[in-house]
Homo-oligomer: A and B are copies of this chain.
Amino acid sequence: MKKEFAQWYQDVIFDAELVDSSPVRGCFIIRPYGYAIWQKIQKILDQEISKLGAQNAYFPLLIPQSFFKKEAEHIEGFSPELAVVTHAGGKKLEEPLIIRPTSETIIFDAFSRWIKSWRDLPYKINQWANVVRWEMRSRAFLRTTEFLWQEGHTAHKTKDEAKKMAQAAIKMYKNFLEEVAAIPTISGLKTENEKFAGAEATYTIEGYMQDGKALQLCTSHVLSKGFVSSFDIKFQDENGEMVTPTCTSWGITTRVIGALIMVHGDEKGLILPPKLAPIQLVIVPIFKKGNKDKILSAAETLKNKFEKLGYSVVVDKDEQKTPGTKFYHWEVRGVPLRVELGERDIEKGGFVVVSRLEKEKRFLEIGMEEEVAKILSDIQAKLFKQAYNRLASDWHSSDFIERFGPLIVKNNGFYEVGWCGNEKCELELKKYHATIRCILDNKDGANNKLCMTCKKQAKYVVLVAKAY
């Protein structure tokens, strides 16, 4: 796993039946077990997004090509990734249509009709949708031609209010990632060079994978006035003047599933945090000759008890497989807790539990089902702590690129260094296959640092790493 991380990742997602490859380049099938994880993510985030005041809506998949040309930066950023519909209904189209790579353009076109007065603001929309960005080198969940996501789009009276909105979205994602997905995160601003095509500022959340690389987990943008103006969105303010609002957009994708795998997985396969596991407990009945009905009936009774406590439970009844084969089957799939139930356990008045994180078996008596809540919350906490410790121990404070560059090439890891703000100095990192992942919120720290490249006074403290 450590040596061949990419291969391990590939094996795990296929063995756990999260995905299958498809006949379409760069696109994957999300199989039921993988999709069930996404549905859990959706359910939790949808509530949080609603708390931010955004309402779900649905906009067309296809966007006129001319919409992308309204703003130079946006088209420049996206044009290499666009999929273009040129023919439909048996005819060549007068104007080609683009499959949405993101929906700012078509949503802002609607905003220009819906937003008239300061009373209409803030205006907050969210969309759960599929998007297409053509990828040359794809990797399931991490980088795929089509992916699923949520995209929030808002308009505000002032830039200050928009900035607060963009930050509130980041805070929501961070809470979700840390509390639910058990993934410790680093957040900050993207550099000019790395920000969204059309944004004035892009906030990002970066995660730390077990191979020492960064994975961008989500972003939130304060869009530039120029971008918003090109869609002619204007509102009448309290003084009767026509003003351009400041807009934001923010999104998180099926990539989070890839992060779950790369942050928590082990040699045996997936490990899913209990709060996102589609199956939290699997009951494996241990059959002996002639006791099948007895054991299955006890297993069903136990399942019902767990379900009443709110858990999702599966009884693996398959008679063709040995218990060992079943253990392996559910370990690969990362089910947090296994329950073993044999004749002796029933006689002793209880059942055996085995955490996905440990080898020790533990006997619980009937009536102690609620103990399972504690074990699951321990697993959740331990997953976060494990990941946090890895991030902390691989976090290095360094000075100059010639010193830490070769270390990144060799060992990956996160490097906290100084930067003068000059793009030329940033792009030197290319030689080491690294990028600035984000500008850390540490202005004072910058005073004590020199730029990693030019060695002049640093303006920013930045996080440098290789990234997916």
Which residues of chain A have a CB within 8 Å of any CB of chain B?
20, 22-24, 27-32, 34-36, 38-39, 55-64, 67, 79-90, 96-97, 99, 106, 109-110, 113-114, 125, 129-130, 132, 134-136, 145-146, 148
Contact = CB atoms under 8 A, between A and B. Distances in A.
Given A23-B67, A27-B62, A62-B27, A55 B83 contact: no
When all copies of this chain in the complex are counted, the total is: 2
Contacts of A60: 22, 24, 27-29, 146
B87 A86 contact: yes
Given A84-B87, A130-B130, A36 B24 contact: no
Nearest to A113: B20
10 contacts: A20-B113, A22-B110, A28-B60, A30-B58, A32-B57, A61-B99, A80-B90, A84-B86, A88-B134, A90-B134
Nearest to A67: B23
A99 B85 contact: yes
B55 A32 contact: yes
Given A22-B106, A83-B97, 10 more contacts: A20-B113, A24-B64, A27-B60, A29-B58, A29-B59, A35-B55, A35-B58, A36-B56, A62-B83, A90-B134
A129 B67 CA distance: 24
A64 B23 contact: yes
A132 B85 CA distance: 12
Contacts of A38: 58
Contact of A57 (B30, B62, B130): B30
A39 B50 CA distance: 13
A129 B29 CA distance: 13
A38 B57 CA distance: 10
Contacts of A62: 24, 27, 83, 132, 145-146
Given A64-B23, A89-B134, A99-B99, A57 B29 contact: yes
Contacts of A87: 83-84, 86, 96
Given A22-B106, A24-B63, A58 B88 contact: no
Given A110-B29, A125-B32, A59 B89 contact: no
Contacts of A106: 22-24
A22 B59 contact: yes
Contacts of A35: 55-58
Given A58-B30, A62-B132, A88 B83 contact: yes
Contact of A148 (B58, B135, B136, B146): B58
A61 B99 CA distance: 10
Contacts of A88: 82-84, 134
Contact of A61 (B23, B32, B64, B132): B132
Contacts of A22: 59-60, 106, 110
A67 B23 CA distance: 10
Contacts of A145: 62
Contacts of A63: 23-24
Given A106-B22, A109-B23, A61 B31 contact: no
A58 to B, nearest CB: 4
A67 B22 CA distance: 12
A176 B409 CA distance: 59
Contact of A83 (B27, B32, B57, B85): B85
Contacts of A31: 57
A339 to B, nearest CB: 23
B29 A61 contact: no
Contacts of A89: 80-83, 134-136
Contact of A86 (B28, B86, B129): B86
B61 A146 contact: yes
A162 to B, nearest CB: 20
A324 to B, nearest CB: 20
A34 B58 CA distance: 9
A85 to B, nearest CB: 5
Contacts of A23: 63-64, 67, 106, 109
Nearest to A87: B84
A59 B125 CA distance: 26
The 6 lowest CB-CB distance pairs between A and B, nearest first, are A89-B134, A32-B55, A27-B60, A83-B88, A30-B58, A84-B87
